[in-house]
Chain A
Amino acid sequence: MAEKKELPKRTASEKADFKRELTEVVPHLRAFARGLCGRPDMADDLVQETMLKAWAAQDRFEPGTSMRAWTFVILRNAYLTDMRRNRFRGEYDEGVAERILTAPAGQEEPLHLSDMHRALLTLPPERREALLLVGAGGFSYEEAANICGCAVGTIKSRVGRARATLNSMLADGDIPRRSIDDDSAHRAILEELDDVAAGKGEAAAKA
């Protein structure tokens, strides 16, 4: 958010458009945040923080571009900041998984969802977010790279590694239960965050 370009003041109708688009992406922000930090209450706090920041920065949004991608950049940066302050530890919430499990029908093996969510939360944050963006959010590799402020190849490799990890975890049923509460694991995550934060995804915010 260090852009200093001259930006035209937004008209009332542009603001209304902005707000409508922002409103539309809120459910997606909640889904992304939930995948990132696991705890629904914290995820929702993160989304509200994101909404306020997006609203305050609306002059930097280019109408016609993807509001979802733009707000995801804000959300991930807020998440990274909060992670550093140790607010999130990727805690896993059994209750939510339970509710999600019983919600939609038509899934052959719904019970795997709970394992899946837990496995997801044990991934390093950079891989987790890459997988969430591409595998759940439906972003292309290019868009995900823009959001994360890194090269397309980097995203591809993060997604690839995330998939490989989940494949083996879920195949073996070997999902570390508390690995993210563990101190050394947590330190490792924070170290990785430095790399992730280095990209900050500002490319997309400027675009």
Chain B
Amino acid sequence: MPRNERENENERRAAKTTGDGASPEWADGLRHLYDAVVEEPLPDSFKDLLAKLDEDGDDVPPSKEGKRD
């Protein structure tokens, strides 16, 4: 990940103490919810999809839009 992701990390930490003054306890909870999903093992359907991207080479079906419903 690019460098600015790390700067964000700092900012995120700084935002905790500064920000709008108080950092309520739910602020940690919010990050927790996010991080918990980030750390979940990736379901197979995602691995399959990533693998398929390779097979298809350049051409993923032109547009999924419009044909969805």
Contacts and interface: CB of A to CB of B under 8 A. Distances in A.
Given A55-B60, A116-B29, A48 B45 contact: yes
Interface string A147-189: 0000000000000100100110010000000000000000000
Contacts of A137: 34
A160 B20 CA distance: 7
A138 B2 contact: no
A117 B29 CA distance: 9
Contacts of B29: 107, 112-113, 116
Contacts of B4: 66, 143
A135 B31 contact: yes
B22 to A, nearest CB: 8
A170 B24 contact: yes
Secondary structure class of chain B's binding surface, majority of residues: helix
Nearest to B16: A135
B46 to A, nearest CB: 6
Interface in B1-59: 1-2, 4-5, 7-9, 11-12, 15, 20, 22, 24-40, 42-43, 45-46, 49-50, 53-54
B61 to A, nearest CB: 8
Interface residues of B, number: 44
A91 interface: no
Contacts of A113: 29, 32-33
30 contacts: A19-B53, A24-B1, A26-B42, A26-B46, A27-B38, A27-B42, A30-B38, A31-B36, A35-B33, A44-B46, A49-B64, A51-B49, A66-B4, A68-B5, A104-B36, A107-B29, A112-B25, A112-B26, A113-B33, A116-B29, A119-B26, A120-B33, A131-B30, A135-B27, A135-B31, A136-B35, A138-B5, A139-B8, A166-B26, A167-B22
**The 5 A-B residue pairs with the shortest CB-CB distance in the complex, in nearest-first order:** A136-B34, A31-B37, A138-B12, A116-B29, A27-B38
Interface of A: 19, 21-24, 26-28, 30-32, 34-35, 44, 47-49, 51-53, 55-56, 64-68, 81, 85, 100, 103-104, 107-109, 112-113, 116-117, 119-120, 131-132, 134-140, 143, 160, 163, 166-167, 170
